[in-house]
Structures are given as C-alpha cells and as structure tokens.
C-alpha cells in the first residue's frame, strides 16, 4: 500500500500537469489569436501605407507612358513650311514606342551634332501642338547665321534649310514651367509676338481638343501676312469655334494684306489694344515674344491692375523680362576673377556680359546650354568656390552647390567646374 504522503504527492503532480496543459493550451490559442490580430494589424498598416504612397506618388498616368530620362532618338517624320521663314518638324520616336504627353506650353530639348565638331549644340523649342499625338512638333524661325559654329542662327539654319525626312535628332522629354492652367475657368488671353506664338498654338490646340468652353483670345503680332506663322490654322479656329477669338496685328502689312480678312489691327500689340478688346483685366494672361514685346506688355498689364499671379510668361534667350517694380540688385560690376577649373581658364568679369555663360563662350570655355533663360537646366554647372547671383532676381531650380550660368553673374571671385 502506498503511503498517504505518496498519494498526496502524486495528486499534486497530476494537478500541476493539468494546470500546465491548460496554460499551454491557453497560450497556444492566445498566440493564434494574437497572430491573427497582428496579421490583421500588419495588413491594415500595409493598406494604409499603400494608400498614402498612392496618394503622394500617384500611379503613372496614361500620358506618362513612354517617359524617359536623358536623350532619346527621334526621327523627322514630316516637314512643313509655316511661312517664309518658319519650318515645323514633326518628330516621331525612332523605336516606335509611345511618347508621354506634356502640359501645353512646355518645350523639348534637341541635340544637334555638327559635322567635324566634338561637342553637340543643344537648343530648346516650345512644342507647337497639343498633347496626345504620336509625335512632337516644333516650329523654328530661321535666324540669320552670324558666323561661327555655336552662335545664334546655326541650328535654325540647319532646321530651315538642311533638315530632311528621316533625320535622327536626340531629344529630352518635355519640360518647363510655362504651361496652360487647365483648372481655371477664367478667360484665356494668349499674347504672342512672332515665333512666340508656338506655345500659344499648343495651348489653343489643347483647349480645342478638350472642348473647353472658356473664352480664348489669341493676339498675334507679325510684320505681315507672309511672315505670320499658322495663319490659316488660326483663321480656321477663329471661324469654327465661337469661344475662340484670334486677333492678328501687322506692323508692316503688305499691299496684298486685307484688313478684316488677313489681319484685324495695324501696328504692334499694345496695352491700349488689350483694353479695347478685353472686358476687364480679370483674365489669365500668357506672354511669349521678343524683348520689347515682353517688357512693354508685362509692365503694362501690371499698371492696368492685373495681379502678378495672372501673368504667365516664357523666357527664352534674350527675352528676359525686366520688371519695372522688382527692385532687383544691379548686376555686379567688380572685375572679379572667374576661374573655369576644367578648362584651366581665368577671366575677369565685365558688366559687358549679360551672364557667366556669355563670358565663358567669349573665352572658348564649353558649357552646354539650351534655353539660355534658366528654364531647361541644361547649363547646370558645379560651383567649386564662391557664389553667384541671378539676373532674374528669383530662385532657380538646380542642384545644391550648382548654378545656371545662363542667367547668373558672379558675386565676388568665383570658381566653376567647367
């Protein structure tokens, strides 16, 4: 017979085993439950993170399909003479794949390799068609070639006199901060001087594509009917769409130009003309044209009471607007040294130059450039020492430690990696 104490011990052990099994069973169930809860929490967290990511980084839109970085080869698919000195190139991707859309008013950057030259020429041209097509179109005015192999007129001469169907041109994707605000319902006023009409054509094309009911007034200044770009297309738009109004201004009409048919006003595009045509200054204005055109209209609109936020403009080359009330600093006029480290060149700054880029070119220092107005970023150059100021008096979009020589002047001694 077992002793009483032995039996009590066995019972204690059995009770402990039962309790342990219960704890293990409870713990297992709790772990399963906890695992399910944690899985649900993790799933919920992932869902929330995905939603946030999708909200901040939206899925690639259809218009962005085919986007690329750097240069991509395009082929000249068609060439059209728009007027006696302007040619349009229709550019299709060589690989036949889709191309991304763009905001009407933006530009593309083209690279041209001259025979016998090691470095290419880079130019920016506004797109002269609306988005959504299988091609890009640029329309280039023929500027007289002033000699040399990189100055004004070289590329425009190539496009207007030497381009042929099948030519290959490397292109950067559309970019630029000048484009139509499609969210606004205000009257759209497109003000163009000469070839400055190209981004306006893109905007007007887009408004027509989307069947916008916004009132659109396009005022285009040209010398005469022979020199007006897109003359027939603009006339067709004005007659076909009740909300589109095109006003052509000829400063020197030909005897064959008929007022009321070929053009509506004689002379230049002026503020007085705008006041006569527009019911009020509460419109969205877009400007692009040569320097006198840009300066007079920008400052004139301000004097008329147009809010600065309603005035949008494109600046390419010398067409940089000089704001009469901006109060910007004068260009630095001290003879500070500018060192171009890679080229091993040192030059003294002179106010006879409008920019560091001009100074570099005068000293045979190669800096790749495009728009020459701070829009495309092609000329971005690293600063080794010193600092610069910008002639526009505004912030620019470039990487830290870099500058845009096309619109910059030295602010004291300067060293550039160029």
SS3 content of the chain, % helix, strand, coil (to 5): 30, 25, 45
What's the confidence (pLDDT) of residue 35? Answer: 41
pLDDT at 26 exceeding the cut of 90: no
Averaged pLDDT of the chain: 83
Q: Tell me the C-alpha distance between 335 and 410, whole Å.
A: 10
237-240-246-247 Cα dihedral, nearest 10 degrees: 130
Residue 8 lies in a domain: no
Residues 194 and 309 in one domain: yes
pLDDT at 320 exceeding the cut of 70: no
What's the confidence (pLDDT) of residue 3? Answer: 53
- Percent of the chain beyond pLDDT 70? 77
Q: Please indicate whether residue 416 or residue 9 has the higher confidence score (pLDDT).
A: 416
Residues 160 and 207 in one domain: no
Q: Reduced to 3 states, what is the DSSP secondary structure of residue 397?
A: coil
Residue 144 lies in a domain: yes
Chosen domain end from 298, 313, 328: 313
Q: How confident is the model at residue 150 (pLDDT cuts 50, 70, 90)?
A: low
What's the confidence (pLDDT) of residue 414? Answer: 96
Q: How confident is the model at residue 54 (pLDDT cuts 50, 70, 90)?
A: very low
Chosen domain end from 297, 313, 329: 313
Among 29-38, 80-89, 279-288, 296-305, whose mean pLDDT is lowest?
29-38
Residues 246 and 192 in one domain: yes
> In sequence order, what are the beta bridge partners of 248?
220
CATH of the domain at 128: 2.40.30.10
Residues 69 and 156 in one domain: yes
Residues 206 and 272 in one domain: yes
Chosen domain end from 175, 205, 231: 175
pLDDT at 15 exceeding the cut of 80: no
What's the confidence (pLDDT) of residue 120? Answer: 84
Q: Which domain holds residue 151?
A: 64-175
Q: How confident is the model at residue 39 (pLDDT cuts 50, 70, 90)?
A: very low
Task: Please give the average per-residue pLDDT across 326-348, as a whole number.
Answer: 72
CATH of the domain at 305: 3.40.50.80
Task: Please give the average per-residue pLDDT across 56-69, as a whole number.
Answer: 58
Q: What is the pLDDT of residues 346-398, one digit of tens each?
A: 999 988 888 999 899 888 898 888 778 787 788 999 999 999 999 776 668 78
Domains of the chain: total: 3
What's the confidence (pLDDT) of residue 57? Answer: 33
For 119-125, the CB contacts below 8 A with 24+ separation are: 119/366, 119/368, 120/368, 121/149, 121/150, 121/154, 121/155, 122/368, 122/369, 122/370, 122/378, 123/155, 123/370, 124/316, 124/370, 124/371, 124/375, 124/376, 124/378, 125/198
Nearest to 103 by CA among 281, 260, 314, 305: 314
Q: What is the pLDDT of residues 238-281, one digit of tens each?
A: 999 999 999 999 999 999 999 999 999 999 999 999 999 998 99
Beta sheet of 414-416, edge-to-edge order: 345-348, 337-340, 414-416, 381-385, 402-403
Instruction: Tell me how far the alpha carbon of residue 54 is from its chain's centroid.
Output: 25
pLDDT at 215 exceeding the cut of 50: yes
Residue 198 lies in a domain: yes
Helices (H), 241-270: none
Residue 229 lies in a domain: yes
- Percent of the chain beyond pLDDT 90? 62
Residues 203 and 284 in one domain: yes
Residue 238 lies in a domain: yes
């Amino acid at each position: 017979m077992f002793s009483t104490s032995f039996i009590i011990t066995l019972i204690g052990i059995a009770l402990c085993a039962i309790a342990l099994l219960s704890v293990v069973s409870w713990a297992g169930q709790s772990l399963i439950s906890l695992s399910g809860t944690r899985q649900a929490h993790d799933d919920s967290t992932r869902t929330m993170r995905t939603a946030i990511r999708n909200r901040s980084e939206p899925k690639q839109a259809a218009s962005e399909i085919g986007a690329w970085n750097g240069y991509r080869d395009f082929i000249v698919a068609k060439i059209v003479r728009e007027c006696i000195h302007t040619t349009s190139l229709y550019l299709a991707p060589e690989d036949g794949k889709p191309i991304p859309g763009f905001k009407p008013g933006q530009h593309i950057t083209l690279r041209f390799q001259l025979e016998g030259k090691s470095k290419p020429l880079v130019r920016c041209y506004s797109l002269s068609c609306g988005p959504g097509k299988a091609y890009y179109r640029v329309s280039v005015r023929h500027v007289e070639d002033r000699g040399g192999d990189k100055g004004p007129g070289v590329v425009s001469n190539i496009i207007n006199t030497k381009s042929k169907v099948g030519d290959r041109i490397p292109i950067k994707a559309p970019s630029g901060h000048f484009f139509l605000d499609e969210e606004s319902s205000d009257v759209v006023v497109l003000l163009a001087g000469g070839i400055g009409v190209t981004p306006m054509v893109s905007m007007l094309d887009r408004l027509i594509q989307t069947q916008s009911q916004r009132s659109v007034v396009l005022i285009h200044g040209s010398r005469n009917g022979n020199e007006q770009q897109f003359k027939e297309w603009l006339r067709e738009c004005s007659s076909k769409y009740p909300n589109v109004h095109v006003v052509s201004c000829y400063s020197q009409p030909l005897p064959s130009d008929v007022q009321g048919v070929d053009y509506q006003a004689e002379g230049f595009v002026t503020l007085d003309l705008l006041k006569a045509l527009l019911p009020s200054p509460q419109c969205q204005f877009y400007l692009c044209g040569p320097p006198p055109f840009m300066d007079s209209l920008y400052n004139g609109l301000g004097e008329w009471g147009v809010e600065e936020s309603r005035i949008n403009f494109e600046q390419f080359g010398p067409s940089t607007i000089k704001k009469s009330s901006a109060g910007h600093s004068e260009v630095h006029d001290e003879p500070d040294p500018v060192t171009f480290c890679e080229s091993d060149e040192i030059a003294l700054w002179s106010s006879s130059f409008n920019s560091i880029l001009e100074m570099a070119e005068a000293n045979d220092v190669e800096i790749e450039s495009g728009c020459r107005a701070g829009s495309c970023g092609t000329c971005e150059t690293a600063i080794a020492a010193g600092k610069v100021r910008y002639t526009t008096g505004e912030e620019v979009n470039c990487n830290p430690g870099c500058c845009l020589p096309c619109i910059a002047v030295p602010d004291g001694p300067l060293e550039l990696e160029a």
